[in-house]
Structure 1
Amino acid sequence: GVAIFLLFICGIGLAWMVANRAMKGVRRVTQTAKNIRHEGFHHRVQEGMEGTEIQELAVTFNNMLNRIESLIMELKDVTNNLAHDLRTPLTRIRGQAETALRVDQPNMKSYEEVIGTVVEECDRLVQMINTTLEIAQIESGIDNVDHCAVDLVDIVQKGCNVFLPLAQDKEIQLKIHCPQEPVCVLGSVPRLQRVMSNLLDNAIKFTGEGGQVDVTLKAHGTNAVLSVKDTGIGIPSNQQEHIFEKFYRAESSRSTPGSGLGLSYVKSMISSLAGNISVSSTPGQGSTFIAEIPLVKPQ
């Protein structure tokens, strides 16, 4: 009887020790949550050794905090950049309106010019906001756009036909290298068309007169590989890692009109299709953007 009693006491003591160690870890998580509420997201749970489950909870909690803090920083950057980019067209709209109001005897032509400028700037604002929202929707994972098998050969050829007059205006040779057979990926036709347009627009915009842009599409292994190569101004190596960030513009491109969202859209769209995009560039010689997207069978 005494032995059973002692075993019972030992069992209670052992259970209390285990529970206390577990509760110590839970209290640590709770205290960190309270600190975050009052002092900010820089706090983390100390990852002790109170048991596998508690350690796993601490690691998971800290990973969640890291992700939240990263998202908050990204949101701040996007907000700051968006506010900066919205300020410019709004300032132009206000300036045009004030100029029109100061004219004593305005004629119809001057009013038409002011209204035309205002409409253009408003269109820019709407496009910028829509693109920002679409990127956010794609990256959030709650995108409801239907996907189907899309032939990239058709996307590339039509995109190049649209941009051919712009290339000819700058005496740029726009060359297309596509296979005869379909190269299909799972995606949205309008969005893939926009990806192609953004890459072509970027290449032609930053290539000088008499330059060349080569667009190459091929099937390689399990991927469709799209390459857009130009002989333009190029991107410095220390800026290439930022080129796909929202609103980022390389120093050499800041004098050229643009929102800084085109390549960010391309990156988000291709990533959502389980693909990837990379850039290689040499300042003064040009840039090459290579996108890889998983192949699917034609429907």
Structure 2
Amino acid sequence: MKYKITRKLVLYFTSVILLFSLVVGGAFLLLFTRHTEEIYRADMQERAEAIAAGVADYLEDGSPALDEVAFAAKGNAIGKQTGNNALFAQGGATGTTGRNNVNGYNAYITAIQDIAMGEVWIVDQSAETISVGTGKKEITYGELPGAALALVDEVFEGDVAFSEGFSPLLEDTSITVGAPVLSAEGEVIAAVLLHDYIANMQTAVRSGLSTLGISAAVALIAAIGIAFLLAKRFIEPLQRMEETTQQLADNHYEAQTGISQNDEMGSLAANIDILADKLAEAEQASAKLDKMRKDFITSISHELRTPVTVIRGSLEALNDHVVEDPAKIDEYHQQMLTESIHLERMINDLLELSRLQNPDYQMEMSSLNFVDVVENAIRSVRYIAREKGITLTFSKELLSFMMMGDYTRLRQMLLAVMENAVKFSAEKGEIRITLTALDAGCRLAVTDNGPGIAEKDQPYIFEKFFKSNEESNKQGTGLGLAVAKQIADRHGIVLSVESQPGKGSTFLFDLKQ
């Protein structure tokens, strides 16, 4: 897991950085190149205009005009070329003047080129030559390409113009800006052409791209480092969760991740811990259910054994003619009938309890008056109570208490408790039934004068097959109160008992409105 996640994170981060670098690099190359060119052109224009202004000042200060300089340059050339021929005097004079004028003008052009950090040409529209600075050959208009001539014409119209048409003359790709030289009257008297090579601008672009490349490389290295750190941060809790889930798979439900993070990883770990707790509770419930199942089988086996044994023994005695006295035979028949009735009742109670414990079992709920149910149950129990001379008294504070319930099941619940009270009450005793009003409901109390229930037995009297007094309850199945408790729970009724040995018992039914 560790290395797979690490590889994935490194791959993801590297891919993102590379994609980002390509997109940003492409945009940077386009925008930065344009921006650099704009800055470069603006800077050249500023320099050219400054040179043009300087040339205008130079000419206005009494320095020779450009046509004079050009004429002097011609005279100088003629003086050198003619020597002692007929034109020597004119050439010599012209040469002398040329040397004086050209030397001063060339010095000025050289100073301008040094300051302008580029090659400077100064063009007079009426001249036949172009001043190209010291050490450069003179160039005539005829040598200029068409694009260069267009630039010169545009400048002499008073505009600042750019062109790359001078590149063939400069023997390399270059950019030229032309600025007009204006006289005091505002007329264009010359043009300043400032040349600079494209390579200089490309050097700046390459420098920017180099910086971007270095930044991308640093970012890539940082991304790989961050990927390793994040992988470690992710892997540690994942490994702990993997170990915990493995322990859960091995039925060690006490395992916990011990992770506390305020994020999705922490939420997942918390859910795993909750799952572990639920599995532990489920294991305990399963163990408890398994114990209850075993206890149930043991209890029902014990409860069924007695009537089956009695019935079988009686049948064997009758079948083997061990008993021949008609009175004894009738006694055996009566005993078998009693045990079979007891067995049938036990089976019915078990089936009833099984249905009530099934969550899918639906009762027939309807609106009813609980007081009517109590009075109906009391009328049924009176017949049983008369056999023991027991008196039933019923006092009520309410004439009506409406609720949603299953009439038959509620009557069955009350009968189970009241019959139990009759069973454990002494002959000619008294059972008091009272219905009192509460703030949010009512309470029904059934009190007998029986032997009471030991305190240690009270928590178990509503469990299956529990018998608090075996001698007084030989015919009991131990299921009546368990059935009553299930019916009470289904109706939201709280069924409880209060009892003291020798002082009788009181069963309480608390109902809420």
TM range (shorter): 0.7 to 0.9
Aligned to 2:254: 45
Q: Following TM superposition, by how much is the alpha carbon of 1:119 offset from its aligned partner in structure 2, in angstroms?
A: 4.1
Are the structure 2 counterparts of residues 98 and 294 from structure 1 closer, same or farther at C-alpha, using a change threshold of 3 Å?
same
Q: 358, 361, 367: which one pairs with 1:149? A: 367
Q: Following TM superposition, by how much is the alpha carbon of 1:286 offset from its aligned partner in structure 2, in angstroms?
A: 0.7
In terms of mean alpha carbon deviation, does 144-153 or 280-289 score higher? 144-153
Aligned residues of 2:393 and 2:432 also touching (Cα < 8 A): yes
Aligned residues of 2:421 and 2:447 also touching (Cα < 8 A): yes
1:58 aligns with 2:276: yes
1:168 aligns with 2:377: no
Map 1:206-225 → 2, pairs under 5 A? 206-225=424-443
Q: What residue ranges of structure 1 are gaps of 5+ in the alignment? A: 33-42
Aligned to 2:451: 233
Aligned residues of 2:464 and 2:479 also touching (Cα < 8 A): yes
Aligned residues of 1:217 and 1:225 also touching (Cα < 8 A): yes
Percent identity among equivalent residues?
26
Are the structure 2 counterparts of residues 169 and 125 from structure 1 closer, same or farther at C-alpha, using a change threshold of 3 Å?
closer
Corresponding letter in the other structure for 1:27: Q
Q: 256, 261, 285: which one pairs with 2:503? A: 285
Q: What residue ranges of structure 2 are gaps of 5+ in the alignment? A: 1-219, 260-268
Map 1:124-273 → 2, pairs under 5 A? 124-179=342-397, 181-251=399-469, 253=471, 256-273=474-491
Aligned length: 285
Structure 1 CA distance for aligned equivalents of residues 246 and 433 of structure 2: 59
Q: Following TM superposition, by how much is the alpha carbon of 1:219 offset from its aligned partner in structure 2, in angstroms?
A: 3.6
Q: TM-score, normalised by structure 1?
A: 0.86
Q: Following TM superposition, by how much is the alpha carbon of 1:75 offset from its aligned partner in structure 2, in angstroms?
A: 1.6
Higher relative contact order (Cα pairs below 8 Å, separated by 6+ residues): 1
Structure 1 CA distance for aligned equivalents of residues 389 and 298 of structure 2: 38
1:30 aligns with 2:249: yes
In terms of mean alpha carbon deviation, does 220-229 or 276-285 score higher? 220-229
Q: 286, 309, 331: which one pairs with 1:91? A: 309
CA displacement, residues 2-52 of structure 1 (integer Å, 9 cap, x when unaligned):
0011112222232222321211111110011xxxxxxxxxx6433341432
Match of 2:460, SS state, is coil
Aligned residues of 2:442 and 2:512 also touching (Cα < 8 A): yes
Structure 1 CA distance for aligned equivalents of residues 278 and 470 of structure 2: 42
Q: Following TM superposition, by how much is the alpha carbon of 1:255 offset from its aligned partner in structure 2, in angstroms?
A: 5.0
Q: Following TM superposition, by how much is the alpha carbon of 1:178 offset from its aligned partner in structure 2, in angstroms?
A: 2.8
CA displacement, residues 128-155 of structure 1 (integer Å, 9 cap, x when unaligned):
1222232233223221222112322222
Aligned residues of 1:153 and 1:179 also touching (Cα < 8 A): no
Q: Following TM superposition, by how much is the alpha carbon of 1:292 offset from its aligned partner in structure 2, in angstroms?
A: 1.4
Q: Following TM superposition, by how much is the alpha carbon of 1:241 offset from its aligned partner in structure 2, in angstroms?
A: 1.4
Q: Following TM superposition, by how much is the alpha carbon of 1:253 offset from its aligned partner in structure 2, in angstroms?
A: 4.8
Match of 2:353, SS state, is helix
Aligned to 2:54: none
Aligned to 1:18: 237
Q: Following TM superposition, by how much is the alpha carbon of 1:69 offset from its aligned partner in structure 2, in angstroms?
A: 1.2
Corresponding letter in the other structure for 1:21: R
Q: Following TM superposition, by how much is the alpha carbon of 1:111 offset from its aligned partner in structure 2, in angstroms?
A: 6.5
Aligned residues of 2:451 and 2:503 also touching (Cα < 8 A): yes
Q: Following TM superposition, by how much is the alpha carbon of 1:81 offset from its aligned partner in structure 2, in angstroms?
A: 0.9
Q: Which has the larger radius of gyration?
A: 2
Structure 2 CA distance for aligned equivalents of residues 53 and 213 of structure 1: 55
Q: Following TM superposition, by how much is the alpha carbon of 1:258 offset from its aligned partner in structure 2, in angstroms?
A: 0.6
Match of 1:186, SS state, is strand
Corresponding letter in the other structure for 1:272: R
